[in-house]
């Protein structure tokens, strides 16, 4: 498919941990779409290199500020690209959604940034027990993933986004669903 859009489409994949977002993003990359990877893994790995095992748990505000900066940098970078479609593995509103989940206070600029940097479409990946796994960077249980997901849905909905729910299925089926949902609006 070839798309000729007047404005760049910035498309976000959201959902709790372990819902298949990154796997689908990798499939989109294989299909030659421009994709921005998840920032939190890089932040987590950098902190581990500096001797902090779980930065989000030990210094959640610092971790979240680093995520916000990273996601803002990705958004600005996307604006400089000639790409008509750019996919993001999580968006700026994810940051304050997670802070709300952890009941952690944060500065007002977190919400302002979420309102300032807007996206074209939001694809939502619901928690899916059959594919949920934990690893060195993803330590949340399936139940925690469900709770986080509710905060993500709330954060994006409160910003006025209509979420497009990605059905369960193979990586190819989920990716096809997203690609077939693209259009210039």
How far is it, in rounded angstroms, from Cα 100 to Cα 122?
20
Helix or strand run (H / E) with residue 53: none
Please name the residue ranges forming H helices in the chain.
21-30, 39-49, 55-58, 60-79, 93-101, 109-116, 142-158, 171-180
Domains of the chain from N-terminus onward: 9-180 (3.40.50.300)
Q: Each residue of 16-70: pLDDT tens digit?
A: 887 888 899 999 999 999 999 988 877 777 777 776 666 666 677 878 888 899 9
> Token pair of 84, please?
């008509």
Cα 73 to its chain centre, rounded Å, is: 14
Burial environment of residue 126 by CB neighbours within 10 A (0 to 12, 13 to 18, 19 or more): middle
Closest by CA to 19, choosing from 145, 135, 139, is: 145
How much of the chain, in percent, has pLDDT values that exceed 90? 58
- pLDDT surpasses 50 at 131: yes
How far is it, in rounded angstroms, from Cα 64 to Cα 69?
9
- pLDDT surpasses 80 at 8: yes
> Token pair of 25, please?
């993003």
Q: Which residue has the higher pLDDT, 40 or 83?
A: 83
């Amino acid at each position: 498919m070839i798309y000729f859009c007047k404005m760049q489409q910035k498309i976000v994949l959201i959902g709790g941990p372990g819902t298949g977002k990154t796997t689908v993003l990798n499939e989109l990359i294989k299909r030659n779409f421009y994709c921005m990877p998840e920032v939190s893994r890089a932040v987590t790995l950098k902190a581990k290199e500096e001797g902090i095992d779980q930065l989000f748990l030990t210094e959640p505000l610092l971790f979240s500020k680093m995520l916000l900066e990273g996601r803002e940098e990705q958004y600005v970078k996307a604006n400089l690209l000639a790409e008509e479609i750019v996919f993001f593995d999580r968006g700026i509103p994810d940051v304050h959604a997670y802070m709300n989940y952890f009941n952690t206070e944060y500065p007002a600029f977190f919400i302002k940034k979420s309102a300032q940097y807007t996206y074209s479409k939001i694809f939502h990946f619901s928690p899916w027990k059959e594919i949920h796994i934990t690893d060195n960077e993803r330590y949340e249980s399936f139940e925690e993933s469900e709770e986080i997901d509710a905060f993500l849905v709330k954060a994006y909905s409160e910003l006025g986004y209509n979420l497009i729910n990605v059905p369960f299925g193979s990586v190819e089926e989920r990716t096809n669903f997203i690609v077939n949902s693209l259009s210039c609006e």
